[in-house]
Amino acid sequence: MTLSEIRNLIQDDIQAVDQLILERLASDVVLINQIGHYIINSGGKRLRPLLVLLSARACGYQGTDHRLMAAVIEFIHTSTLLHDDVVDESDTRRGNKTANEVWGNAASVLVGDFLYSRSFEMMVEPQNIRIMQVMSEATNVIAEGEVLQLLNCHDADTTEERYMEVIHRKTAKLFEAATVMGPILANKPELEEALIAYGCHLGAAFQLIDDVLDYTADESELGKNIGDDLAEGKPTLPLIFSLKNGTDEDKSTIRRAIETEGSALLNEVCHIIKHSGAINYTKEIAQNEANLAKQALTPLADSTLKEALCALADLAVTRSH
């Protein structure tokens, strides 16, 4: 099942979410409208809101609050992107200039704050305390993940365990929040644990492949600069593996790249990574996470929508951007 085929299953929901996003972005402050529309319309996959919609329908939900929560999830994700690009001093995302490159850091941070606060304003509307519990915890854990990643930057002694903790907090947690919306809205608490596990493993697989693509993808297809993680001193799994298993010369090069020299050593580091087995190792870990995601769906009743959730796990590890 392709991504287009998956989207076609819930096309009405997707269109409703797109309209809802535009409506809820509206502000009397012109700059908020400009930056909000710029990043929302910049060609993202909208994977996280898609997960909310699929999870809800797969759990048998018949209402419309899943559309609202899909928009909430997208707003939270977008706000983290605005903040991330400032922290990382990024100038390109999805093939376009970042908002901070166009409008400056201050405006990007403040509009990110607006999207965060707007998302909390929206998530109150279903008047469901369980939703509030999940979302408030998720945003807090994501913030902790961002700080942990900051602490790991330029630290060549970062372990695989520390790296995995960061991606589970920073990336997988919002996937979890998206997928558990289904059983919450459908009032099926017996399915919450399964959908949380699915989202957790799917998010980890997605991030692991992101980290592979940072060294292997076509730059025009990826939509950002190759080697951005290295330039920012982020010790992702391909680097951690190569640092552990490479020659002494390889280890010295990677350590220097992580600690101080960054993208100046990009060509050498890419060569080391590609010949160390790091790419295959990282892909294997990602595939294992995708398999665990699919296994987690066992308690869910068989349906085309369940098949779509399984297909998303496969697509997470086979994608090229």
Q: How would DSSP label each residue in 215-274?
A: HHS-HHHHTS-TTHHHHTT---HHHHHHHHHS-HHHHHHHHHIIIIIGGGGHHHHHHHHH
Q: What is the b/e burial string over 242-254, where b = at least 16 CB atoms within 10 angstroms of the residue's CB? A: bbeebeeebbebb
User: By the 8 A CB rule, do 131 and 181 touch?
Assistant: yes
Residue count of the chain? 321
Residue-level pLDDT at 22: 87
Residue-level pLDDT at 223: 54
Q: What is the pLDDT of residues 10-25, one digit of tens each?
A: 999 999 999 999 899 8
User: By the 8 A CB rule, do 235 and 158 touch?
Assistant: yes
Give pTM, 2 decimals: 0.91
Residues in the chain predicted with pLDDT less than 70, given as ranges, are: 43, 94-95, 218-226
Residue-level pLDDT at 220: 56
Residue-level pLDDT at 4: 92
Angle among Cα 303, 208, 240 to the nearest 5 degrees reads: 155
Domains in the chain (CATH in brackets) are 3-318 (1.10.600.10)
Alpha-carbon torsion angle 301, 45, 229, 73, nearest 10: -70
Q: What is the pLDDT of residues 181-226, one digit of tens each?
A: 999 999 999 999 999 999 999 999 999 999 999 888 765 555 556 6
Return the residue matching tokens 């002694």.
157
